[in-house]
Chains A and B, each alone.
Chain A
Amino acid sequence: MNHWKNFSKGFIKDNPVFVLFLGLCPVLGVTTTAINGLGMGLATTFVLTMSSIFVSLIKNFIPDKVRIPCFIVVIATFVTVVELVMKGYLPDLYKSLGLFIPLIVVNCIVLGRAEAFASKNGLLSSILDGLGMGLGFALALTILGAVREILGSGSIFGIKFIPGDGILVFILAPGAFLALGYLIVVMNLVKKRLY
């Protein structure tokens, strides 16, 4: 697989959220606004890329039987780094994302890519795979966040364009499921046209 294909597959063809249906918990939980979705997406991309780098580097030194615990330790370390950095430098985002920041460690995408790709491929491929999947994830989160924010609060990235409230159900729990369900249908159509 050439490098561009490797990198870009995470955007549409193998989008982790809309196609592979991985890492769904934060997708529903933090996408009440576009900026939260984007913030979470980028935090996850950081963890995913750094973990892929390290897993790819150490893959030949780790015995097979203990590879999962080792991957988990690597991933958890980067998640904690993100937690601490956010707490100190991005307190508002830290408060908005709340519980879902430590939950990056159990995001199926991160462990999934480490196991399926980084542990079997070279450094450059792993970096591109991690970055691509992460950015695809961030893209999905931002789109869902934007949809929910526009419909539910009448604003986009914090800029309100209608007075008062929007269709509130979209920033509540049911709206997350509904918005995601319909977005998947749209994405399937897009995928069909492009591939």
Chain B
Amino acid sequence: MAKKESNFKNMVIALFVVSFVASATLGFVYELTKEPIRLVEINIKNNAIMSVVPEFDNNPSEDMIRVASGRDSLTLYQATKNGELVGTAVETYTLKGFSGLIKLMVGFAPDGSIIDIAVLEHQETPGLGDKIEKSKDKFSLQFQGKNPADFKLAVTKDNGEVQAITASTISSRAFCDAVQKAYDAYMSSKN
């Protein structure tokens, strides 16, 4: 079969038709997947929040507040049960990880002490920095129940009270940095 001739009119028509059909298809699929994607994103958030604060009966994603933190801001999710505040989950981050960004969800009790910490995102080295994950090592468990008001959030090398991961001081330091940021934001939100 003969191919279409490459004159200007044919080229424009071909490009236009292909682009049009492509855009229509994409728009259609986008609408189809919009709701599932939104639900997935809320689910991920809620699962993270649920893992660091006690049982609650509200929807923390709706009870969120943004607090300034340095040049940026952090998001705080308040968990309540029967109207009473049972915990606040702070979504925090640090750029000082060995491989850059580490995102954490820190759960604070109303008195300011840490309930638990979940790792949301990181690119730390497997077998070393990835020990910040609860499933890989007990490192993050040492923060449970500690109140940053009297627990120094720094590794022992920096005169703090945190036992760093062996051979992963940078990742450990970054973790502390993120938790400190979260605590500062939480404290400033109470004022």
Contact = CB atoms under 8 A, between A and B. Distances in A.
B37 A81 contact: no
Interface stretch (B11-19, B59-67, B84-92, B104-112): B11-19
A74 B10 CA distance: 18
Could you tell me the dominant secondary structure of chain B's interface residues? Answer: helix
Interface residues of A, number: 30
Given A64-B6, A70-B15, A74-B22, A172 B30 contact: no
Interface in B1-60: 1-7, 10-11, 14-15, 18-19, 22, 25-26, 29-30, 32-33, 35-37, 39-40, 44
Contact of B11 (A32, A63, A171): A63
A31 to B, nearest CB: 14
Contacts of B3: 59-60, 62-64
B11 A66 contact: yes
B127 interface: yes
Contacts of A172: 125-126
Interface string A60-91: 11111110011001101100110011011101
Contact of B14 (A61, A76, A84): A61
Contacts, number: 76
A66 B15 contact: yes
B25 A81 contact: yes
A144 to B, nearest CB: 17
B48 to A, nearest CB: 13
A81 B26 contact: yes
A24 to B, nearest CB: 21
Contacts of A88: 33, 35-37, 39-40
A87 B33 contact: yes
Nearest to B38: A88
B171 to A, nearest CB: 15
For A77, A89, A152, the residue with the greatest tally of chain B CB atoms inside 10 Å of its CB is A77
Interface of A: 32, 58-66, 69-70, 73-74, 76-77, 80-81, 84-85, 87-89, 91, 152-153, 165, 168, 171-172
Given A63-B7, A81-B25, A87-B33, 19 more contacts: A59-B3, A60-B4, A62-B3, A63-B4, A63-B6, A63-B10, A66-B11, A73-B18, A73-B22, A77-B22, A77-B25, A77-B26, A80-B26, A84-B29, A84-B33, A88-B33, A88-B35, A165-B126, A165-B127
